Amino acid sequence: MSEMQMRVSDEDRERTTQQLQQAFSEGRLNRSELEERLGAALSAKTYGDLLELITDLPAAQPQADGVVELGSKNGNVKRSGDWAVPRRLRVSSKYGSVELDFTEAVIPHQVVDVELDLTYGSAKIILPEGAVANVDGFQADWGHPSSKVPSRPRPGVLCVVITGRAKYGGLTVRYPRKRWFTH
């Protein structure tokens, strides 16, 4: 039996889905290509099936223990629109603010850990309607965390766990604002 015909494990499928999500976040795949390939990866039986999904993509760059790091010294850190959310996100900003908008993002995990390290900036996190957030692990020396969303985890609902600290800033977690007069 050739290596291409060997059966794959759940871990092999997970590794491939992570590589596909990374390619999507880099703009190498559009949303429909990502969804199609994710479906094929989750039902793949052999290494050949998995390899077929990623041969046109660059080799996966190993992530340090699965954490994606975003940071800025002077500017703002912002993610919004159609982006792939990793399982763990570490965000640091010395003088700028952080805005993470999850409302249109592709979120393959039910629980997402966000670790914030802010010096002079504040963070705003916008969650899709119905999602929950736990901000108990976030400390602010001069500001305070404000969450306008429920914190109790529920089955089948996105739960964002926010930890870290802000020296001179705060944290706001909310749902998207209602748009009036839109046709």
* Residue-wise pLDDT tens digits, 43-100: 988 878 888 888 888 765 544 346 788 887 777 889 999 888 888 999 998 888 999 9
CA distances from 94 to 124, 167, 181 (A): 15, 10, 38
pTM exceeds 0.75 for this model = no
Task: Look at residue 102 and tell me whether its pLDDT is greater than 70.
Answer: yes
Assigned token pair, 105: 């993002």
Portion of the chain with pLDDT greater than 70, in percent: 91
Round the average pLDDT of the chain to a whole number and report it.
85
Residue 37 φ then ψ, to 5°: -70, -35
Q: Which amino acid belongs to residue 9?
A: S
Residue 66 CA to residue 117 CA, distance in Å, equals 18
* Residue-wise pLDDT tens digits, 114-162: 999 999 889 999 999 999 999 999 998 887 789 999 999 888 899 999 9
The vertex-84 CA angle with 103 and 81, nearest 5°, equals 40
